[in-house]
């Protein structure tokens, strides 16, 4: 699926550019009782990715993970473990077409256990769906590709 014209677009890895701003985010791997992983088809780009988003000032990464999953999926979760920190420039330098801002995305990816709630899509999502590891869709948002591959291979403690 092609990216929408209003979606943040990955750009080439930038040389050390002192004007490039970082954005700290969190991605959350949520599995159901069958071991399937929850993915969200994002409304801003039409691609699948992990639930998650920006870490807000004054909150921890774990707090952001719990908040983002609740806001985007309706599920209450508990952070279970760290998968890794993803900062490689390839696929993580994006341009936001609405304002032209360029950001280097740095994501802390965690796994979380479901405590309760009812699955429901937010206004940020076109769809939410649990996928078996061998049925993950190919149309993944670029920042989700490497972390999701690591999660599906059972890797933890990643620093990329």
- Residue 113 counted as domain residue: yes
CATH number of the CATH domain containing 133 = 3.90.79.10
What percentage of residues in the chain have a pLDDT greater than 90?
74
Contacts of range 97-102, beta carbons closer than 8 Å, 24 or more positions apart: 97/5, 97/6, 97/7, 97/8, 97/9, 98/6, 101/21, 102/11, 102/14, 102/20, 102/21
| Domain containing residue 26 | 19-159
- Residue 2 counted as domain residue: no
- Residue 93 counted as domain residue: yes
- Residue 9 counted as domain residue: no
Quick check: pTM over 0.95? no
For the chain, the domain total comes to 1
Q: pLDDT tens digits for 21-52?
A: 999 999 999 999 999 999 999 998 899 999 99
């Amino acid at each position: 699926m092609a990216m929408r014209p209003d979606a943040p677009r990955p750009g080439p890895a930038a040389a050390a550019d002192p004007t490039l701003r970082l954005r700290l985010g969190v991605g959350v791997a949520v599995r159901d009782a069958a071991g399937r992983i929850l993915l969200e088809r994002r409304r801003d780009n039409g691609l699948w990715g992990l639930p998650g988003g920006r870490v807000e000032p004054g909150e921890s990464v774990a707090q952001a993970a719990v908040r983002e999953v609740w806001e985007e999926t309706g599920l209450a979760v508990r952070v279970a473990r760290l998968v890794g920190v993803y900062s490689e420039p390839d696929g993580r330098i994006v341009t936001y077409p609405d304002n032209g801002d360029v950001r280097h995305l740095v994501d802390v990816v965690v796994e979380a256990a479901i405590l309760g709630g009812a699955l429901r899509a937010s206004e940020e999502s076109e769809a939410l769906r649990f996928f078996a590891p061998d049925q993950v869709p190919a149309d993944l948002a670029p920042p989700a590709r490497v972390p999701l591959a690591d999660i599906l291979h059972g890797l933890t403690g990643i620093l990329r």
